[in-house]
Amino acid sequence: MSYTLFIGDRTFSSWSLRGWLMLEKFNLPHSVQMVGLYAGTMAKDLAPLAPAILVPVLRTPEGDVVGESLAIAETLAERHPEAEMWPKDAAHRLRARWLCAEMASGFSALRASCPMQLQHVNEGFDTTPDVQTDLARVEVLWRSARGISGAKDGWLFGAYSLADVFYAPVAARIIGYDLPVSTEVREYCLKTVSDPSFRQWRRDGLQVTYDPFPYPISASARPWPLD
C-alpha cells in the first residue's frame, strides 16, 4: 500500500519538493516517478494522469489521482490523522492553513524573480522592491506562526507541520539568492536546508547536470551552504 508521487526536476521544482516532503517527513510509504519537466515530455508523461497538467501529482494506493499541492496535503492529512501533518491545536492549525494557502496563491514577485535552484548561492542578487515586499510578508507570517505557537525557534509551529513543508522552497530561495532577511528568518532557512530529508532531495537533484543551466548564474556565485 504505497503512494506514487509524480515529480519534476528536483533541483528546480519547488512544488515537487513540497509534495515529496509531505510524504517523506511524515513517513508515508511512497515511490517517486519523474516527469520530464525540463526534458519537454511533461504533457506526454502526465497524459495517463488526466486531468493533471502540473507536478506534483499523487496517486493513492487505490489508484485515485490528485493534483494541486494544497489538495494533496489535505488528502494526505485526512487519510493519515495519526501523522499529525497539521498542528494539533485548532488555533495553530487554522493559522498553519492560512500560511499554506497564502503561499500557494501569493508571493508572485519572489517566485518569478528567484526561481528555485538548489545548485549554488547567487550572491549579489538585486532585490527589487516587490521582492522586498514579499520578504517582509514572509517575516510577518513566520513571526505570527511563532507568536501563536510559542515556538521561539525551530519549526514554525513547534512540531514539523505542513506549514514547514509549504515554506521549504521559500527558505531555499532565500538561501539560494542570499536574500536580505532577519537573523531569525535566516536561521529558520538554514534549519530547513540542513534537514536530512531536504539534503537528500538536493543530493538526488544534483545527480542531474544541466547544460546550459536554465537560470542565470551570478558572476560571484558561491557554493551552497552545508553541502
Residues in the site for ligand GSH, rule: CB under 6 A? 8, 13-16, 37, 54-55, 68-69, 104
Residue type present at position 183 = T
Q: Minimum distance from CB of 183 to ligand GSH (Å)? A: 29
Going by C-alpha positions, the residue among 194, 165, 171 that lies closest to residue 83 is 165
Cα–Cα separations (whole angstroms), residue 147 to 116, 119, 156, 195: 28, 33, 9, 23
Q: Determine phi and psi for 140, rounding to 5 degrees.
A: -65, -45
- Nearest CB to ligand GSH, comparing residues 9 and 195: 9
- Nearest CB to ligand GSH, comparing residues 96 and 146: 96
- Nearest CB to ligand GSH, comparing residues 149 and 167: 167
Q: Minimum distance from CB of 89 to ligand GSH (Å)? A: 25
Q: Minimum distance from CB of 56 to ligand GSH (Å)? A: 6
- Nearest CB to ligand GSH, comparing residues 35 and 185: 35
Pairing of strands 65-67, 57-59: antiparallel
- Category of 5 on φ-ψ map: left (φ > 0), alpha (ψ -120 to 50) or beta: beta
Q: Minimum distance from CB of 32 to ligand GSH (Å)? A: 14
